[in-house]
Amino acid sequence: MKNMNILKSEDGLFEIALKINGENKKFKVKNNEFLLDALRRYGYKGAKKGCDSGDCGSCAIMFNGKPVLSCMMPAVTAHGGEIVTIEGIGTIEKPHAIQEAYVEAGAVQCGFCTPGMIIVTKHLLEKKPSPSDEDIKKELDGNLCRCTGYVSQIKAVRIAAKKMKKKGKK
Amino acid sequence: MKNLKYCCFPKTVEEAVKLLNDKKHKSIAVAGGTLIAKSIGDLIEQYVDIRYLPLKDIKVSGGDLIIGALCAFDEIDDNPLAKKWASGVLSKAASKCSSQLVRNMATIGGNIAKPHSFNIFPALLCALNAKVKVAFLKGTEIYPMEDIYNTDFPHKLGSNSIITEIIIPAYIKKCAANYEKFAKTQACWESYASCAFSLSLIKGKVEKPRVFVGSLSPKPIRLEAAEGIVSNQKLSSEIIEEAMEAFIGNLDILKLSTVNIGFKKEVASIMFKRFLLSVLEGKI
């Protein structure tokens, strides 16, 4: 077991190393902390704390290539992983095609659920560049929105698929 | 979680099992974490993060379908081999678990190692006559799926041993099988009733039927009386009605104390009837 990675906490804190939005980072996380809280504490506030029980999807981030619920992941277990948050997808100055599509479709109202929706949409379009409505509904079934009624998000994903095909963008 | 002192990332099953059996620290295996992450008590001092163990393959070996315990629900849902087996019931069931975000994280091993009424795979894998390979300190052993829920099962899954593989026997490939869940919404983890069935049709006669009910108790319930009615019979409307009565009678004997049990039993029996009717009509 010589080469195995074992993290030891000191005064209730673990030091974890991870890649976040393409940058190598070291975080100090509490032994009872979840990844969502650690990310927000370090300034990645795009992921939102909605239900804190894995039901609403507003905390979704990409972990090792898959959208996951960061409120359900003990922070220490993110050690060695690769994370993409909404901050790593696009900026106000240079939005991603999916973000543009969400604005065009009017799929953003209060905006609380939007980062999670965009993370999930990105993963869907990477897997299936031309998803059916059923595919979209299935992929977004864990992202709750209290404002829009979901029709506009489905439309947004359709627009995003077209935009991304046009731009040949990932 | 506040007493957590160590987090280990083993690379082999042997390392993981050694860590779990480390007498110095109370340990727990964590994979997807969706069932346990929020309920890990303060006694736990060591996480054994088994997510990176090489247990993610879905393959056919010796005719049997082997599913690595760390396969996430979405991987089973999308897997071409899983789609081919037993009317694609594995993929269908995996797609019915909660939401996509949970399906991306939750693993089949965790789903059966931590039994809960609303877990999908315990009832389904029992219905598919599956076996599980368990790794413990002294080696590995294969057990029938149902045995892991017996009180005399010799291992504590996730505490001193881990499930490494799920083995679905070759004969199941051609079986008619189904999994049904009745819940508030499709993305709802909680369900009022769920059932899993499998049977072989040999020259028009039902063979090896397996009928299991989930949701009504933490462990899947086998309904042998209902199986007995259809076994070695050609399906007909009369046999199906008789099997349905046996199904409800079987549940009555168990004296389950769940809320609205009468309604749930009725729903479950209708699922069973629908399954038998689809077999009769050649839809499955």
Q: What is the 3-state secondary structure (H, E, C) of B51-67?
A: CCCCCCCEEEECCEEEE
Predicted confidence (pLDDT) per residue in A70-99, tens digit: 999 999 999 999 999 999 999 999 999 999
Task: Please give the pLDDT value at position B38.
Answer: 77
Residues of chain A with CATH 1.10.150.120: 97-167
Looking at the domain assignment, is residue B159 inside a domain? Answer: yes
State whether B33 and A14 contact (CB < 8 Å).
no
Question: Does B28 share its domain with B79?
Answer: no
Structure tokens at B165: 């593989």
Domain total in chain B: 3
b or e along A111-134 (b: 16 or more beta carbons within 10 Å of the residue's beta carbon)?
ebbbbbbbbbbbbbbeeeeebeee
Distance CA A33, CA A53 (A): 14
B108, B140, B171 - which closes a domain:
B171
pLDDT in tens, chain B (284 residues): 788 999 999 999 999 999 999 989 999 999 988 877 777 888 899 999 999 999 999 999 999 999 999 999 999 999 999 999 999 999 999 998 889 999 999 999 999 998 888 899 999 999 999 999 999 999 999 999 999 999 999 999 999 999 999 999 999 999 999 999 999 887 788 888 999 999 999 999 999 999 999 988 889 999 999 999 999 999 999 999 999 999 999 988 887 777 888 899 999 999 999 999 999 999 88
- Determine the average pLDDT of the residues in A131-147: 94
For residue A110, give how far its alpha carbon lies from the nearest alpha carbon of chain B (Å): 22
The secondary structure of residue A74, as a DSSP letter, is: B
Record: fold of A97-167: DNA polymerase; domain 1 (1.10.150)
The dotted CATH code for A13-88 is: 3.10.20.30
Considering the entire predicted model, what is its pTM?
Answer: 0.94
Containing H/E element for B17?
A: helix B13-20
Q: What is the ipTM of this complex?
A: 0.94
What residues make up the domain containing B248? 174-280
State whether B101 and A32 contact (CB < 8 Å).
no
Looking at the domain assignment, is residue B1 inside a domain? Answer: no
Structure tokens at A18: 């991870």
Question: Does B165 share its domain with B196?
Answer: no
Q: Is the Cβ of A94 closer than 8 Å to some Cβ of chain B?
A: no
State whether B37 and A32 contact (CB < 8 Å).
no
Question: Does B20 share its domain with B45?
Answer: yes
In chain A, which residues have their Cβ closer than 8 Å to the Cβ of B43? Answer: none
Q: Which of B64, B87, B83, B67 is nearest to B170 (CA)?
A: B64
Among chain A residues, the shortest Cα distance to B189 is held by: A55
In chain A, which residues have their Cβ closer than 8 Å to the Cβ of B40? Answer: 74
Question: Does B73 share its domain with B120?
Answer: yes
The number of beta carbons lying within 10 Å of the beta carbon of residue B263 is 13
B118, B153, B171 - which closes a domain:
B171
Q: Is the Cβ of B95 closer than 8 Å to some Cβ of chain A?
A: yes
In chain A, which residues have their Cβ closer than 8 Å to the Cβ of B19? Answer: 1
Residues of chain A with CATH 3.10.20.30: 13-88
State whether B33 and A74 contact (CB < 8 Å).
yes
Q: Reply yes or no on whether the pLDDT at A2 is more than 60.
A: no
What CATH number did the domain enclosing B125 receive?
Answer: 3.30.465.10
The partner residue sitting opposite A9, judged by closest CB among B5, B9, B98, is B5
Structure tokens at B111: 């789903």
